[in-house]
Structure 1
Amino acid sequence: MGNVSPKDSLLFYPYEDFRLKLLKKNFPRLLNKPATEYKMKDIALNLHPQSQVLTCAYSPDGRFLASYSKSDKKISIWDIHNGTKTDQLQTRAPDGFTILHRLLNLQGLTFSPDGTQLATTNGKSFLTWALPSLEEHKYRINTPDTISCVKFLGDGLIAFSSSNIITIWREETAENVHILRGHKEDITSLESLPKHQWLASASQNESFIRLWDPNSGLELYTLNSHNPGIRSISFSFDETKLASGYKDSIEIWDFENMGPDPQGLNMRRIEYFEDSKHVESVVFSPKDLSLASVLTGGLIRIWDTCAFRHEVKGSVTQINRHTCAIQCLRFSHNGEFFATADRDGNICIWDGKTGDCKISIESKGCELHSISPDDQSLVTSSTDGVMAIWNTGNWLLRRKLIGHQDKILCVEFSPDRRHMASASHDGTIGIWDLLNEYDIAETKPAHQIKAEFERSNAFDRKGIIRACMAFSPDGTQLACSVRGGAAIQIWNVKPDGSLDASQQLHSAYDAFNERPFFSERIFFSQDANFIIASGDGHLSIWRIESKKLLILIRHVPMIFQSLRWDARDPGYIFTELGRFFIGYVFDTKAETSKPMRYNDGYWTDMVKTSSGRQSESCTLNWRELEICCKGKPLAKFPSSYFPSHWHGIWMLWIRKKRIAMGYKSGHVMLLNFEGR
């Protein structure tokens, strides 16, 4: 974790045995053992060059890492034991200018097998430096295209690529030994395997890794990665693993149990990169199974991949649970359990105190929606609009709800659990009678009305239609976002559950993006006089009686899932980011015949934290990536452990002093700080 202290890193420390010995001492308030990755150990080291890095290479002894920076045109040498820069190559040209300042097209770095030379490409030539004297040699090649990659093969042979052709070249005689043809696109990476005497190559826009015999010039095997656009490949020092880097992922190929034909090898994928970070190149250490990856933005990340061989035991996320990105997370009201759903529709139920997996509902295309106020029921739905209510006591199916003709958008229970409302892609809202608890295999809605869920053609939401719902605390009103979230419709709820006398609250218009502010979550105030909506970068508050938008707060860093009013002081709200004062919106002057313009503010300026009583819940400091309690930090996140988001909603739920998080990898983590 770079400069982060070991105590801050302990929650995510890669070596499980050592971590467990220190958890109790350093985190006495943590009641459960948090999850660690079972497929890939955590980051071992982050290096932070001052400018953009394009490529890197290990020295043969594994002690140093050479990296080339595009911004300052320099090659830096790093000591990976402590993460410090030890040197930069600064040779002089006859004209008095620094040679490296003239290198505008450096594409790769490579050390010779004996560590006595460092090579890189430069246009239609490549350069070598003798180490440690730094004596430079420049070899100009007669080729019509730029040289993209270079690799030492031993015995005086050097392989380099130009366009889609690989040339095996002998340094002593400066002659071509073999010309290798087969790639249809420009070659992006070369890698050698001394033990097998192979040469591996990959090219852009192709999903194949080709293995060659450099002595005969013949193509031996082809590996299909099913992922086009390979930017870099690297073999581990023992030649048991092959890493291939793509724009947003890394694949690890297992050569350890390889037969005579390496086709059909096991492969695993790492997808831990933020949206702004892309993989430029990957390279294994020559001494261990650590893998260095160069990411955009001036970051070198080093991974420990030996967990592929010895998987970490005791992980909260177990094998055969979620295998893809988490897209929904819900915590029960009593905190006894929480539920997660992944992109494939598999649902897992987890113990809210220990994080142990209680049961899995494996049903392709299944979606998780809502948990009843008494925590006795959980609702899921299938793609055909059929909903299922599960008994949370024994996790058996309680009943099926049939009536909608298309995908379910959202579901909400009334506070007394007498009714349940559901919104569907078919353009209807269904009201279901839950008062009768007798066993019914299939139930139809008691009432059904039309609603305008379709967004206007002028609103750009990338084809996504979403809706959110909320009952008022007394159950007499039902609010639902309509028009793709651009407005909120409010109905009066009769004792029999039927809806009438609706009114509509209109969102403010976002002039910069030329669209309304969309509502993703809506909440009633305790007295049911106000509605607050959390959306894509904003927080809005309406007075229901007058249908007036009182305030629009912009640049809110996340969409709130667990927002609620403070029961002891309704001027404050609780969110994942803390307890905030919004009481000033209640002090609006009496309305006149003139239209009242809403107040427009920013999150940092208009929303103020409480100066009095602190929240008893944990909060998230999103800028520092840390969990806090009463303003004091409890744990800091590495960037790779920051929860993922699905359509702008973070997979994070804070329930008092418990924090549940979901990740793109399918992992689920629970941090429980209650009880101490």
Structure 2
Amino acid sequence: MKSFHCVHSLFSPRSSFDLHFDATSGDLRVFLILVTGQLEIVTLPAATAPNNWESAASVDIAIRNLGASHASDVRSVCFSSDSTALLSASAKSARLWNRSSQSCVRTLSCGYVLCSCFVPGDKHVILGTKEGKLELFELASGSLLQSEEAHGGAVWSLCLNPDKRGLVSGGADKAVKFWDFELLAQPGKTSRQLCLAESRCLLLDEDVLNVRLSPNGRLLSASLLDNTTKIFYTDTLKFFLSLYGHKLPVLCTDISSDSTLIVTGSADRNIKIWGLDFGDCHRSVFAHDDSVLDIQFVPQTHLFFSSGKDGTVKQWDADKFQLIQTLKGHLASVWAIAVSPCGGHVVSASHDGSLRLWHRTQEPLILEEEREAEREAEYDQSMVQGQAPVIPGETQTETGLAGRKTVETVHAAERLMEALEILREEQMEQEQREEERRLTAREPPAIPINPILQAHGNISAEKYVLEVLKKVKSSELDEALLVLPFSDVSTLLFSLGSLLDTRKDTELLIRASLFLLRIHFGQISSAQHLSSAVQKLKENTSNRVEEKRDVLGFNLAALRLLRHQLDERDEVRIFSAASDAVKEKLRKRKRKERALLTIT
């Protein structure tokens, strides 16, 4: 057999690969996905020496998984003003995508980006970094025009002014800064270059996590680390309102296009809808199963999208306070979302490494059907997890199991299955010993004791099963028995019938027997070999219950006797105390009479 090794140089480390053999041409193709998100195809012709490998194609995967070309999580996304371009930014790079073709147009080398926005005109972008810098890039050339030390900490949020003449930034240095766009003349050139110039600064008491300007340019909102959102007048920077009610920091905010509503999303998993007139909370909604990471209104509507750490993107109605639809597809936290200015597209960036593009269809959305689909999904999930759904109006006292399947119940079931396996092995060895004794008419050699049984004091296998049952918590017994396969249930039923003869732990054994009979009634009733076990359980259970009833009745009678004796003793004490009081009164009366006689 001839073997050889081939070496092929890749542009970057690979993430995964697959092999494909073309039967018609005899060529062998290797498909490699690189960490940069590129798909590289290497072809080995059938009649070519192994060292003549060649790279047939190298393409970017950008059809539905746009964010795959980023080496780290995409933390910020934004649309251009005409909704034709899309910017995604991560720890080391920012990429410009064509929305219609979903191809990467430009790659920008930058710092760790936390927020971004397009400059009016869509020829420049501004990136806010974790190092506290504002980086201004020109998209045509991909060059960095300006890197401004804006904040003393991370730049958490950027927001364009409604008049398109500047922007606002909020950072971890407890400051909100206003920046103006300026065109400066370049030496030796007739054209001017765009740059940023700081105009005003608002200092606050806590770190600024998010800033937003109302579309009418009248108000400025800043969410702080103290779980509140402060509203200021934009022109004078005077305090206007304080929105408080969240239990954890507010991570994201947005203001509607008519400047009447503001929505806040917090790490406490709630979304609150406020009115900007008086700062009153219209409704608080439990939105996600984990922290709410981003919120954005659909332009010219009161509909908004939210994303969370639970990996979902949800659309809400701020007027009716109800969930419209849930967009599922991500497998991890959704860091950022962006709604296109036309309102027809939404892009979401997730921790799973993907960048998903959603578009609005022409199909009508019926909320009743969406709720029905959600209820069916919840029902299917509950059936998969083995939980019986609660039926309204059901007359039974119990509609399902009291507990849930946990790691402890699984471990308890595994220990019980191991004990039953030891019991089966011992029974098989005992049967073989009896068969050998019957055939040879002599005593066979002793059976070696199982090491586990020997460690527990040379107890029998049935007693070991009882010991394992006793170690299971009472609240976890039903779930542990529910996990057992039917073969182990059959063995356990025979064992429970024998253990009831020992008259120990009767309550535990009867409870386990009744639960197994109720859960596996159909299979047990159709299995002929279990009829003897069920009959023995019936007899032993009845006898043990009668014995317990007799003991309980005897104990109750004894307690009643003791109570009667105590009551009699208390009555005697009462009567003796009354008689003593009467005697004392008679003695006092006689003393007074004697005193009068002596005086007279």
Q: Could you state the TM-score of these two structures normalised by the residue count of structure 1?
A: 0.39
Q: Which is richer in helix?
A: 2
Q: Which is richer in strand?
A: 1
Q: Could you state the TM-score of these two structures normalised by the residue count of structure 2?
A: 0.43
Q: Which one scores higher on RCO, CA 8 angstroms, separation ≥ 6?
A: 1
Decide which structure has the larger Cα Rg and report it: 2
